[in-house]
Amino acid sequence: MKNLVQVAGVIDAAEAAMLVEEKTDWLGFPLRLPSGKDDISEAAATDIISGLRPPHAGVLISYLTKADEVAAFCSELGVKAVQLHGDVETAELRALKAARPDLYVLKSLVVKEDNADELLKLVDEVADCVDMFITDTFNPATGAKGATGLTHDWSVSAELVRRSPKPLMMAGGLNPDNVAEAIRQVRPAAVDAHTGLEGADGRKDRAKVRRFVSESRRAFAELD
Ligand SMILES: O=C(O)c1ccccc1NCC(=O)[C@H](O)[C@H](O)COP(=O)(O)O
């Protein structure tokens, strides 16, 4: 999996259609969030996901931590990929892979001010039971681990890329203006953005998505 562009936080079918038209590869659906404030119903997400065709695919973004719950929810939604944002035990990751070897599993690496060593250790521990890692940025003011719109120290992401035997998706405060430089500095296999692509109305802005996708593709092509 290489040179992939994901946009997370799909709100409805119209937004999903726009993301597909603008050639986003993967569409992320955060569901059953701890806040209880999902932006889309599970029924609506299931409907959108069933209509996506390769190279487009729906990805469940989840805080669930138990393998059986994750596997059951993925089956309900009809997704073939899941992004795990919670503190999932290694044994549960292993159990998920054993139960659903067909499921593409992304594990988040949430970058804080001082946790680079911890993240490197996590990469070593769980790389054999995930398919990809995704960085994200912690917000110390709110405790949020995703969709914070904040960038982090890209030298940490770059070190995680060098360390990981599995591909890494870079996320955390990316937008059309910084994604090309992020790709140059970090050399990820994929990029993802959420809040940096929103307009004032909280929906994804077509012009921002178009530029995010084209800037990402241009930077990936330069690396190749
Ligand atoms: O997208 C969400 O709403 C979300 C909520 C809670 C945890 C993770 C979430 N999304 C994961 C993503 O893949 C986001 O795109 C990623 O956090 C980057 O967000 P941003 O910094 O706003 O680009």
Atom of ligand 1 nearest to the CA of 196: 23
- Is there an atom of ligand 1 within 6 Å of 192 CB? yes
- Is there an atom of ligand 1 within 6 Å of 171 CB? yes
- Is there an atom of ligand 1 within 6 Å of 170 CB? no
Helices and strands, counts by H and E, the chain: 8, 8
Number of domains in the chain: 1
| Pairing status of strand 57-62 against strand 104-111 | unpaired
Q: What is the ipTM of this complex?
A: 0.94
Q: What is the pLDDT of residue 35?
A: 86
**Full residue range of the structural domain in which residue 71 is found:** 4-223
Q: What confidence tens digit (pLDDT) does each residue in 104-133 have?
A: 999 999 999 999 999 999 999 999 999 999
- Is there an atom of ligand 1 within 6 Å of 152 CB? no
Instruction: Report the CATH number that the domain containing residue 199 is assigned in CATH.
Output: 3.20.20.70
Q: What is the pLDDT of residue 113?
A: 94
Predicted TM-score of the model (pTM):
0.96
Q: Label each residue of 140-157 as H, E or C.
A: CCCCCCCCCCCCCCHHHH
SS3 breakdown of the chain: % helix, strand, coil, rounded to 5? 40, 20, 40
3-state secondary structure of 30: strand
Atom of ligand 1 nearest to the CA of 150: 21
- Is there an atom of ligand 1 within 6 Å of 197 CB? no
3-state secondary structure of 102: coil
Q: What confidence tens digit (pLDDT) does each residue in 63-74 have?
A: 999 999 999 999
